[in-house]
Amino acid sequence: MKLYDLEASGNCYKVRLFAALADIELERVPVDLANGAHKKPPLSEMNPLRQVPVLEDDGHVVRDSQAILVYLAGTYGGLAWWPDHARGQAEIVQWLSFAANEVQHSLSAARLVEKFGYPLDKEAALAKAPAVLALLDAHLETNDWLAMGRPTIADCAVYPYVVLAPEGSVDLGPYGNVARWMTRLESLPGYLPRP
Amino acid sequence: MKLYDLEASGNCYKVRLFAALADIELERVPVDLANGAHKKPPLSEMNPLRQVPVLEDDGHVVRDSQAILVYLAGTYGGLAWWPDHARGQAEIVQWLSFAANEVQHSLSAARLVEKFGYPLDKEAALAKAPAVLALLDAHLETNDWLAMGRPTIADCAVYPYVVLAPEGSVDLGPYGNVARWMTRLESLPGYLPRP
């Protein structure tokens, strides 16, 4: 099973982190984004959004980090990480949307500008960050994990751009519950440190 | 089962559309967003993101339009709309992320500025729209539906802000495959017209 991958990408780290925690073996195929490999075949055909990560499992292709988490957990990860009932799946999907929307357009966008020079509005991204982190912090005041009272792919989808947020000049200092949640996740067997 | 709802919201329309197509009965509870009802209890406690839609099913609360689609389809919709295997679920989640990220920050954002005066960057939103629609159009050149070769919640998550895009000054004219997909969806039994 191949993961088309970029070491510095938080979206790729979501997948690598989950695979490490769930003990799923991935063959990492580095993608040379600096030279536009994601804009040429075969990558551009595997993912018309021209992004990594992309997963290829015996010819079956999955794009989008959230979808790859669902695929890997549902196929190889067992029911602990992605349950087989709609109530639990929906509880997790709330956080997958939060990762794709709120986290992507605040913590991740600020880092993309600062670390990689992406032409995004860093001020707008930074302005959204405190509300995103405050919401997370409030949830984690009474919950050890994002969903279902245990580690799931919801945590793997949200943690990477939180732990990487200081690379976009976001201060995590005020969010003690978030810090304790990160420590819990970092203490899980198999934890893969951030890039 | 109660849907906390706003008629003009495309995110709420995703849920109403799916419920109509799958013949699921919802009690609509209008939320007075103009007077900030979403920022006060009980809504602010049901959804700390302070957004609609919110679903309440016998005391169980689900926020986020994509998560509500998963919950409704998985609980009441049968396997046609949301399958019980990870490969199909991941194929659909690709499009749920596309709805929460790419569609939300292009077609939906432009409409929020133009129709409701939201303080977002309309030029940036409009600049993203052609790539989003071109990607959709290319997919629909060889696919009748977004996922699994049949109507699923993926279509219900993406269609609303596409059909509403002209309200944000987005021209759908160049995208013939998108137009034919919309016509197919609008021909399904139970189809609920856009707000």
**Per-residue pLDDT tens over the stretch B142-151:** 999 999 999 9
- Count CB-CB contacts under 10 A for residue A162: 25
d(CA B96, CA B44): 24
Interface ipTM: 0.96
* pLDDT < 50: residue spans in chain A: none
Chain A closest CA to B96's CA: distance in Å? 8
Nearest-by-CA chain A residue for B101: A101
Size of interface A-B (CB pairs under 8 A): 109
Confidence (pTM): 0.97
The structural domains of chain A, with segments of one domain joined by +, span: 2-77, 86-187
Confidence at residue B78, expressed as pLDDT on a 0 to 100 scale: 87
Two domains, one topology: A2-77 and A86-187: no
- B105 touches A at CB < 8 Å: yes
Q: Which fold has domain B2-77?
A: Glutaredoxin (3.40.30)
Note whether B104 contacts A101, CB cutoff 8 Å. yes
Beta strand extents in chain B (DSSP E only): 2-5, 27-30, 54-57, 60-63
Confidence at residue B181, expressed as pLDDT on a 0 to 100 scale: 98
Per DSSP, the residues of A11-31 read HHHHHHHHHHHTT---EEEE-
Residue B98: phi and psi, rounded to 5, are: -60, -40
A107 Cβ partners below 8 Å, 6+ apart?
A125, A129, A132, A133, A161, A162, A164, A165, A168, A170
B50-108 pLDDT, tens digit each:
999 999 999 999 999 999 999 999 999 989 999 999 999 999 999 999 999 999 999 99
- Tokens, residue A158: 């949200």
Query: 73-102 in A: which are within 8 Å (CB) of B?
Result: 73-75, 82, 84-87, 89-91, 93-94, 96-98, 100-102
- A18 touches B at CB < 8 Å: no
Percentage of chain A exceeding pLDDT 70 = 100
**Thinking of the domain A86-187, which architecture would CATH place it in?**
Up-down Bundle (1.20)
- A56 touches B at CB < 8 Å: no
